[in-house]
Amino acid sequence: MNVKRFVAPTLEDAAKDIRKQLGKDAVILHVKEVVTGGLFGFFGKKQVQVTAGIDGPSHRNSVSRDGDDKQSPLLKEANRHLQQLGVSNRVLKNLQLTAQMADKQGNARTKEELLMHTFRASLQLQPFLQKRQQTLIVAGPTGVGKTTTIAKLAAKAMFEENKTVSFITFDTYRIAAVEQLKTYAHILDCPIYTAYNESELIDLCGRQTADLVLVDTAGRNYLHEQMPVELVEYIRQSASCDLVVALSLAAKAEDARHMLSRFPKELVNGLILTKLDETASLGTLCELLYSEAIPVACVTTGQNVPEDICWPDKEQLLKWLTGGV
């Protein structure tokens, strides 16, 4: 097991160093406050010392439990909340140890504040970058809600941002999906085009002049299939074309992460998280934000178009995880 010790001014700084040097699968083994610098023990600077390492099967139970029996009431409340999220054991242990360190620093007066400190230090919260002219290729598994989400994105762009919009459907496997998108296009008075293969899709994307081009792809079983190489290369070379992956928050966290791993990680610009209304747990959301440095583009909360969608910023995501939706 590769074990290293990190000293930083704050938990957030230590977490960034750990991820940079050991990767996202690093496990926190021990945390404590230390005093560095100064003269003869005076005028020193309080910092955080975190011992972390790469997890392995033989070390899963090696996480330090110092002080477990002396937890403050505030820390006990926070730990119960973390347990109820439904994240994996590895993520739970790291979150609990981070909460323990945050509690020792004494900056939190409520459970919510302690959880905020914990999540800020542990989660990878990236802003989703929108461009004035942008092509969004929406991919994801069957039944995740890509088509209705695309209609919601179009409505927001037109009525709130005063943008022009066009649709391209690449989901010719399901006739109902094509007709559904055509209905939305007719209601919104937007042009819609159909591509029957990767070459046609690339050609259509290149000829669009709308501010926002939304591409509805066929739902695939990405556990067994991958994106076509020709399309991957086009996304990689295009400055205005972005890949966003739609995942269901009602799915198991492990399944969502495995599904996401089937896409070229460097090409995924954002996540569309659907079906928030169909789950009582935010474990999948927490797990994705812990493991993946990919921005959340939007979250859907129902089937109604265009109402049931929101664009949470960093603070909103933290509020959800600390107090529910």
pLDDT attached to residue 225 = 63
What pTM was estimated for this model as a whole? 0.80
130-168 pLDDT per residue, tens: 888 999 999 988 889 999 999 999 999 999 999 999 999
Percent of the chain at pLDDT exceeding 70: 88
The helix, strand and coil proportions of the chain, stated in percent and rounded to the nearest 5, come to 45, 20, 35
Q: What is the rounded CA–CA span in Å between residue 186 and residue 151? A: 11
Q: What angle do CA 147, 152, 158 make, to 5 degrees?
A: 125
**Confidence check: pLDDT of 189 > 90:** yes
32-59 pLDDT per residue, tens: 777 776 555 555 677 878 888 876 544 4
Are the C-beta atoms of residues 293 and 126 closer than 8 Å to each other? yes
Tokens at residue 234, please? 């086009």
SS3 35: strand
pLDDT attached to residue 59 = 43
62-98 pLDDT per residue, tens: 444 444 557 899 999 999 999 999 899 989 988 998 8
Residue with tokens 């797990």: 287
Are the C-beta atoms of residues 171 and 325 closer than 8 Å to each other? no
Q: Strands across the sheet with 192-194, in order?
A: 192-194, 165-170, 212-217, 134-139, 241-248, 268-274, 296-300, 309-310
Percent of the chain at pLDDT exceeding 90: 47
134-157 burial: b if 16+ Cβ within 10 Å, else e:
bbbbbbbbeebbbbbbbbbbbbbb
